Structure 1
């Protein structure tokens, strides 16, 4: 059974009714962010029940020393982790001297959470009775500003229902925090200064080892009727925290509010010795606007985002809610304004995977940002990898590779590998292919070839050198083979000749050679500079050609399909449909040994190659491979259903495509994998966008032209989306009757619809 407590709504995520068992899941689902920082939906007031506290700052991390049972040469020294940052949202509340705590309250009624995705705010409300028998209504509203991305705002409103009451608000900031996923219980933060100024408070601290300097700040005041109280009654300052106290006698049926602004200034953006000064400047800006003025700005900023990135679906409210939730979280995680940042698999919603950069960015996310923002945003994601090329070369050197071979990390914050499971760190090397594919995908979509001579060619040379050194000649097969790898399907570790890895390696070598020719012909000065810098020789490129031409690709004549890897047919090929449902998901019920010997596929592997390189194969070949592999796929990776949805739509299997779409779009809302309390699956959410735009919309770029093969699930009346294609905004609307394409300005644009040319004019 999947969870089903989230109420269907086209623009909001809504929970009704208080359930202690759901608190951690809801903390993930109602998370908020603004690209620079984010936080789980923890209660502002004290809560003594199970909770997972989390506030995070983009780009601020700690190198937590690796913890493994047996050290192997080449292991990364540390696992870089996005840190649980000092807490700025906290507000202790006392009701006639008794703490407000939902874990100790009785008669909790009308409990509701709402994440309003259209306008970018989160609200929680309830009526409850405290242990000293005061019944009260609470409404708390919170958002992280997009227009002032160092600050968030809270309005905490209380109305006593059954008697006049003394209400004491104690807003605070606290640097005495820990990470849920700490390896050694290290101290991650060192606090250096705790200060206050009128109704503002500041904690200056820095991360251990990495020495990121951060000022956590707040400003608070209360409003009761016409009375605005900006001077606290008292202050409580300790070594790691500071708080204020505001007392107010409140008449029965009347409302008192605490307004709190808070957030972080960081030395990534300001001078390290002027962080408190910078915090004062941002507090001046937001307090002059006031809570309501800041919220109006927020609504306008989100309206602008939705204008371009919304996908509207008519006739299917759960499908509509699912895609908007995915688009909302992607925009909360990465806005494209800072090329030093990237997209972590959990974004700002939890600590799993360390909050680092994975191959997901290049394989899944690039398309979304390229089409819904502009090519500059996508270019920043590519530049991020170019900036880390030297580290990728160092990573390869640690494993024994030479001559400028580059192995991009599986997991990283600053370009260094920080993942420490050997079967992934050393063997899941297909990630190198996704980096190269992103360069190809970007140039194909934007026609901006300037990235290749400026930065991309050096990246491709490093990657090609790695692949050429990673293979070895098999005298037995008279082919180049790749031994000891893990493909995208992590339920097969340390296998030989994973088809996807071999195929993408072959493609990378061919693509690097192509781009060398292109740069030599069109950018001779850049070519000369790059050849001198990389010391690339004709002998070396000759070897690349030879490896690409003789790469071994495992194939079964009997089944007429490429094999996942050499030993796939040696497995006991029992289909997923014949598994006991009580044993699903298998990663929570089976031993790892049993999983590795099974035929079960965690995510698209061979089919991932068919997704990337669909022009290399016929539709008949796709169908044969889909029918062979999908029955063995358990989809226990968040990155699996979206690829299957795109391919099922291409094969015109719309019911299957729709089922996969619902699974990818509601993966977290319905908690398919029973793990949502750890955080959301942010990068796979870009795959959900792909499943509509590339799956149902059939969007591709072929021979420089934008192409569509539109389809619509029978459950939908209509859907529409917008695409930014080479600075032309195209709106696509698809109904059960047909499809409509519009451009709003600029030169006419020729597109292909079901392979027929159509010219669009504004």
Structure 2
């Protein structure tokens, strides 16, 4: 299998030549989405080779019963699964009665697949010689509309090259689908209605248990040499399947084309008894516009996204392709239109991780959305957690916490914890800190404090209560300790006093106390409402303060560094450079027991704290900790290279920063972890954006101002990016010998450049 078969290109992901070994990987890499739905790049026609089918609807999931060897109190009852939804993309194709199947063709030539990121469409073109000797040229284009986000469109053309043939197109809907990652092989969908209405088809189905009602729909139009055809169809109808068969005799070098429109209406945003009516209206709009007009609207929509979100890199096409791929996939996954939705680590590209929400959103994604879109998009992500506060309190209660303490879930769809590995579910509690940090980060960046009195303080109080109860006093240390945790480094479980966890716990309590004071003074009505709702008291706040002021942090006087946890120096400290390469990746080569006893770090842990709280530490302190911990880091989490790239850039280690940048930006394109066929790493893609903007661009907020300390890799001639800072849109242009700024929206903005204030005026740079 060729792991580097994607062609370097600034605006497109391109595969040339057909190799069945690459099909499942390409199905991930060429995935498309529009925020409301998404799909892997499965072939429309029959494919009998190894494939991973996947169509997904945002917010639709199934609570798959937890499967563990030994049940423990507090385990979630289910793991939420993003569901492989009924498929609408299928078009069976037969030539003189022989099915078109690339896995069984005599020859496939000139195969090219392209994901055009600039314009938001997927194409596939090839010449096939069938076993019956017929040669055909096939051209396909597909996209999921941003304008009409319940519909997608396919143009599928067949041109016979060596003789007159009979072509059969059979567009179909299929609700008889399954998930590859089902725990118990449960039936996830119940099909209730298969309906044909003239040339339109509909399948109504609902999910078991969660009872999401959906209508999958389609309508097709046929053309010969671009002229519309009216053909009678033959209908095939089964309990979970509906198709229309259209036959046409096609002369040599003539082109027979089908335009298929399909998609989903869902009771998340439509009345469940009107799903077919809504589908008919959507199809009417799509058919009236037609494929080419819908495509023009698609190009216009993506142009508007790129106008703000694009990062340009001059002189390094692989780096350019990498960042655009990351930005493209983030926008395909989440556009901020629906505050009930969030960003799953695989987006719409696969089933791993259940399509659920992790702490990735708060730690990595919010900065991207704050800077490249209106601040309301980031605010929606904060509201998502506020809306789940009661569930977070319930989650904590199940583990024995009380008095309104909240533990936000590690993995969730609806606010309930649905992750069932004990070392994550019970121990990786630092996720609570990321929720609080996101509130702080949002207010710091946008200058919008209103969220805290309106909603945020209630979240902060519940989180502070959790940290207060989770810490206990150690008489031996005369300090408060937090025992039995897993830090961001998931290669250490059930350890004591993880520095990052203890540090963010202390910070959360202090940040909450600080905001209580502000709201008591400046937002009296909100303060009275919150006190009445939460029953906080001065004595409780004093107890919190006692914990925060006396939190224990493991420290080595000899090395002059904070220790990742109490026992870190007891390990056999062999660096990654001295680890036999045949043992990598250790998560695929070693037993879990061996990993847990090793010094190897999956992702930034102590350094995650230094990233979040950079201004709490000196550059010298960062350098000491980076020098010690990075050599033990195996970067086997997708979230690891970006943090290290940012910190290497801050330390002026540009070769290392660049190497980490390439690793994070091309993690999936070059399949570093040998797992891309399972889906893409969507949330870490926001870290790629951070690597450039915060790493090379050095963007921070200092003294309530936007600040830059720009650097540039030697491999690049220049790079540029835009950020929306408090409704001022500023473009940063970095060259090898200079940096300049353009204010594109707003009248005047004072920023810091290398800690010196400069005024940037519109059209003046």
TM-score, normalization by structure 1: 0.99
Would the aligned equivalents of 2:729 and 2:746 in 1 still touch at CA under 8 Å? no
Structure 1 residue 302 and structure 2 residue 302: aligned? yes
Would the aligned equivalents of 1:221 and 1:232 in 2 still touch at CA under 8 Å? no
Q: Distance in 2 between matches of 1:109 and 1:308?
A: 39
Match of 2:614 in 1: 614
Match of 1:18 in 2: 18
Q: Distance in 2 between matches of 1:6 and 1:232?
A: 42
Match of 1:503 in 2: 503
Q: Distance in 2 between matches of 1:382 and 1:747?
A: 29
Q: Distance in 1 between matches of 2:35 and 2:692?
A: 24
Q: Distance in 2 between matches of 1:109 and 1:514?
A: 66
Q: Distance in 1 between matches of 2:294 and 2:70?
A: 53
Secondary structure (helix, strand or coil) at the match of 1:377 reads: helix
Match of 1:514 in 2: 514
- Give how far 1:196 is off: 1.1
Match of 2:562 in 1: 562
- Give how far 1:107 is off: 1.7
Match of 2:465 in 1: 465
Structure 1 residue 197 and structure 2 residue 207: aligned? no
Structure 1 residue 575 and structure 2 residue 564: aligned? no
1:383-398 to 2 correspondence within 5 Å?
383-398=383-398
Q: Deviations over 1:108-159 (max 9, x none)?
A: 1111110000000000111111121111111110000000000000001111
Would the aligned equivalents of 1:145 and 1:298 in 2 still touch at CA under 8 Å? yes
Q: Mean alpha-carbon deviation: is it higher for 21-30 or for 157-166?
A: 157-166
Q: Distance in 2 between matches of 1:280 and 1:230?
A: 20
Q: Deviations over 1:395-448 (max 9, x none)?
A: 000000000000000000000000000000000000000000000000000110
Q: Distance in 1 between matches of 2:429 and 2:495?
A: 12
Q: Deviations over 1:151-197 (max 9, x none)?
A: 00000111111111100000000000000100000000000001011
- Give how far 1:299 is off: 0.2
Would the aligned equivalents of 2:663 and 2:672 in 1 still touch at CA under 8 Å? yes
Match of 2:76 in 1: 76
Q: Distance in 2 between matches of 1:208 and 1:230?
A: 39
Q: Deviations over 1:307-340 (max 9, x none)?
A: 0000000000000000000000000000001000
Q: Distance in 1 between matches of 2:722 and 2:84?
A: 36
- Give how far 1:232 is off: 3.9
Would the aligned equivalents of 1:156 and 1:257 in 2 still touch at CA under 8 Å? yes
Q: Distance in 2 between matches of 1:527 and 1:226?
A: 67
Would the aligned equivalents of 1:2 and 1:672 in 2 still touch at CA under 8 Å? no
Secondary structure (helix, strand or coil) at the match of 2:745 reads: coil
Would the aligned equivalents of 2:603 and 2:636 in 1 still touch at CA under 8 Å? yes
Q: Distance in 1 between matches of 2:212 and 2:164?
A: 47
Would the aligned equivalents of 2:730 and 2:745 in 1 still touch at CA under 8 Å? no
Would the aligned equivalents of 1:500 and 1:606 in 2 still touch at CA under 8 Å? yes
Aligned residues: 762
Match of 2:44 in 1: 44
Would the aligned equivalents of 1:106 and 1:130 in 2 still touch at CA under 8 Å? yes
Would the aligned equivalents of 2:604 and 2:643 in 1 still touch at CA under 8 Å? yes
Q: Distance in 2 between matches of 1:524 and 1:68?
A: 49
Would the aligned equivalents of 2:112 and 2:124 in 1 still touch at CA under 8 Å? yes
Match of 2:753 in 1: 753
Q: Distance in 1 between matches of 2:39 and 2:746?
A: 41
Structure 1 residue 530 and structure 2 residue 548: aligned? no
Match of 2:65 in 1: 65
1:25-40 to 2 correspondence within 5 Å?
25-40=25-40
Q: Deviations over 1:627-676 (max 9, x none)?
A: 00000000000000000000000000000000000000000000001100
Would the aligned equivalents of 2:226 and 2:257 in 1 still touch at CA under 8 Å? no
1:403-418 to 2 correspondence within 5 Å?
403-418=403-418
Match of 1:637 in 2: 637
Q: 1:226 and 1:646, CA in 2 relative to 1: closer, same or farther beyond 3 A?
A: closer
Q: Distance in 2 between matches of 1:539 and 1:421?
A: 37
- Give how far 1:226 is off: 5.5
Would the aligned equivalents of 1:105 and 1:130 in 2 still touch at CA under 8 Å? yes
Match of 1:365 in 2: 365
- Give how far 1:231 is off: 4.5
Match of 1:649 in 2: 649
- Give how far 1:227 is off: 4.2
Q: Distance in 2 between matches of 1:263 and 1:230?
A: 23
Structure 1 residue 323 and structure 2 residue 323: aligned? yes
Match of 2:438 in 1: 438
Secondary structure (helix, strand or coil) at the match of 1:195 reads: strand
Secondary structure (helix, strand or coil) at the match of 2:190 reads: strand
Q: Mean alpha-carbon deviation: is it higher for 650-659 or for 225-234?
A: 225-234
- Give how far 1:2 is off: 8.1
Q: Deviations over 1:42-70 (max 9, x none)?
A: 00000000000000000000000000000
Structure 1 residue 207 and structure 2 residue 202: aligned? no
Q: Distance in 1 between matches of 2:629 and 2:181?
A: 35
Would the aligned equivalents of 2:16 and 2:113 in 1 still touch at CA under 8 Å? yes
- Give how far 1:558 is off: 1.0
1:690-729 to 2 correspondence within 5 Å?
690-729=690-729
Q: Distance in 2 between matches of 1:578 and 1:686?
A: 31
- Give how far 1:513 is off: 0.2
Q: Distance in 1 between matches of 2:139 and 2:225?
A: 16
- After superposition, the CA RMSD in angstroms is 0.8
Match of 1:164 in 2: 164
- Give how far 1:585 is off: 0.8
Q: Deviations over 1:83-130 (max 9, x none)?
A: 000000001111100111011002211111100000000001111111
Match of 2:733 in 1: 733
Q: Deviations over 1:708-754 (max 9, x none)?
A: 00100000001000000000110000000100011123231100000
Secondary structure (helix, strand or coil) at the match of 2:171 reads: strand
Would the aligned equivalents of 1:235 and 1:245 in 2 still touch at CA under 8 Å? yes
Match of 2:278 in 1: 278
Q: 1:232 and 1:67, CA in 2 relative to 1: closer, same or farther beyond 3 A?
A: farther
Q: Mean alpha-carbon deviation: is it higher for 501-510 or for 123-132?
A: 123-132
Secondary structure (helix, strand or coil) at the match of 2:71 reads: coil
**Which stretches in structure 1 are left out of the alignment for 5+ residues?**
none
Secondary structure (helix, strand or coil) at the match of 1:6 reads: coil
Match of 1:243 in 2: 243
Q: 1:19 and 1:226, CA in 2 relative to 1: closer, same or farther beyond 3 A?
A: closer
Q: Distance in 2 between matches of 1:435 and 1:494?
A: 22
**Which stretches in structure 2 are left out of the alignment for 5+ residues?**
none
Q: Distance in 2 between matches of 1:592 and 1:130?
A: 49
- Give how far 1:230 is off: 4.4
Q: Distance in 1 between matches of 2:631 and 2:225?
A: 64
Q: 1:601 and 1:232, CA in 2 relative to 1: closer, same or farther beyond 3 A?
A: farther
Secondary structure (helix, strand or coil) at the match of 1:282 reads: helix
Q: Distance in 1 between matches of 2:620 and 2:41?
A: 47
- Give how far 1:225 is off: 2.3
Q: Distance in 2 between matches of 1:106 and 1:657?
A: 48
TM-score, normalization by structure 2: 0.99
Match of 2:151 in 1: 151
Secondary structure (helix, strand or coil) at the match of 1:7 reads: coil
Secondary structure (helix, strand or coil) at the match of 2:517 reads: helix
